[in-house]
Structure 1
Amino acid sequence: MAATARSAIRPPAPSKVKILATADDLFYTEGIHTVGVDRIIAAAHVTKATFYKHYRSKDLLIIAYVEGRDREIREFLDDAEARLDDPREVIRALTVKIGVEATRTGFRGCPFINAAAQFADPAHPVRVAVTAHRDWYADRIEALMRAIGHPQPGNAADDYLLARDGALAGGYVGDSIAANAALHRSTERLLAEAEA
């Protein structure tokens, strides 16, 4: 029993972390379908055997990439809720984070939308992982909107997600400063609706 508990908390092997970090960078900057396993192996400086020991297929690595990006956002919101007493400030902090991301050098759009766009079948495991992320995200925003007393928290969450998606798309293909400003305006309108 003690051995099982120890193995449950063992950190991942450094080579596994390196493979995922390499894939994360390449998948995001160049596109999932354009980056092959051999390219990841070479860039991560690991052997093919090491790659397949940790990830039995490219699809499993792609899912790990999507789940890693999902985990980052979950951790951000958990931390924001722990630090900030007011759910309005949590929403504002998230809006700032999205805006910073959308205006940074090297920004290539939303990694979840980008991943979904490369897998047409909604039943594909990558699409399932993206859908799970978006469902969780919508539920979390709805809970925050409910906490601030928004009269229609579900609709407000949908509006926020649409504004977020628009800001991330606009940040990549349009004027990132204007997209960020529009996201902030949309957020403040939604927050004001809770006070009306």
Structure 2
Amino acid sequence: MTVTLADPPIVGRPTRDGGQSDVARRILEAAAPRFYLEGIRAVSADAVMADVGVTKVTFYRHFPTKDHLVEAYLETVAAAERQAVAGWRAAHVGDAVAVLAAYADQLAAQVCGEAFRGCPFLNAAAEYPDVTHPVRTVAERHREWLRDVAEELVADLAVAEPRSVAVQLVMLRDGAMAAGSGVDPAEVGRALRRAGRAVLGR
């Protein structure tokens, strides 16, 4: 999994001037793909330290616990998705259908990739069943954002019951993430668009 941001969030403890620590960023860059591909619980803090070549003292100076690193990983993935959606909305001002289509195309390409291992937020929720756990909170907060932004786009289309329709669209997203593996990306994109139009009544 690769996450790139033009303006990435600060992870770990910031430097004295409020900026990003290079060490914290390197720790996150080593941990993120392993958390996603191998599972969060399966990757130990010691394994990440070995990958980066830092001591326990250095690691825990930036991330007091492994769970703090997991939170930073999910926050970074969430920020990347928010940035992508913001870009589509800026490119298609006043055209909610085009924004939803862009999301569908990106999702189709993602779920058909060889390195795809499902939704990182649903994966995290499965590994952290306690709904009060900070990691679970990060995951649920992003999923609530997904429903909120879908509702905003649906409302722009003057569709009845926009919240209900938004929930259905997010369910389509989740279904594509579960069923898209091994299917041609173009077919996944077409299926998502057809299903989306049916939900929107268009």
> How many residues are paired up?
185
1:60-96, Cα deviation, whole Å (9 max, x unpaired):
1111111111111111111111111211111111111
Alpha-carbon distance in 1 for matches of 2:54, 2:193: 43
Name the counterpart of 2:3.
none
Matches within 5 A, 1:45-194: 45-85=53-93, 86-172=95-181, 175=183, 177=185, 179-191=188-200, 193=201
Backbone CA RMSD of aligned residues: 1.7
Question: 2:180 is paired with a residue of what secondary structure?
Answer: helix
Aligned to 2:17: 7
TM-fit CA distance, 1:48: 1.9
> Structure 2: how far apart are the matches of 1:29 and 1:176?
21
Mapped partners of 2:198, 2:54: distance in 1: 50
1:38 Cα deviation after fit: 0.6
What CA distance in whole angstroms lies between the structure 2 residues aligned with 1:167 and 1:190?
15
TM-score for the superposition, normalised by structure 2: 0.85
Structure 2 distance, partners of 1:180, 1:162, is: 15
Structure 1 length as normaliser, TM-score? 0.88
CA distance in 1, matches of 2:50, 2:164: 46
Residue-by-residue CA offset, 1:92-112 (whole Å, 9 max, x unaligned): 111111111101121111111
Among 9, 28, 39, the residue aligned to 2:36: 28
Give the Cα separation in 2 of the matches to 1:66 and 1:77. 17
Runs in 1 of length 4+ with deviation above 6 angstroms?
none
Q: Distance in 1 between matches of 2:196 and 2:146?
A: 15
In proportion to residue count, which structure has more helix?
A: 1
SS across alignment from 2:54: coil
Q: Matched residues, percent identical?
A: 35
Which runs of 5 or more structure 1 residues have no equivalent in the other structure? Answer: 1-5
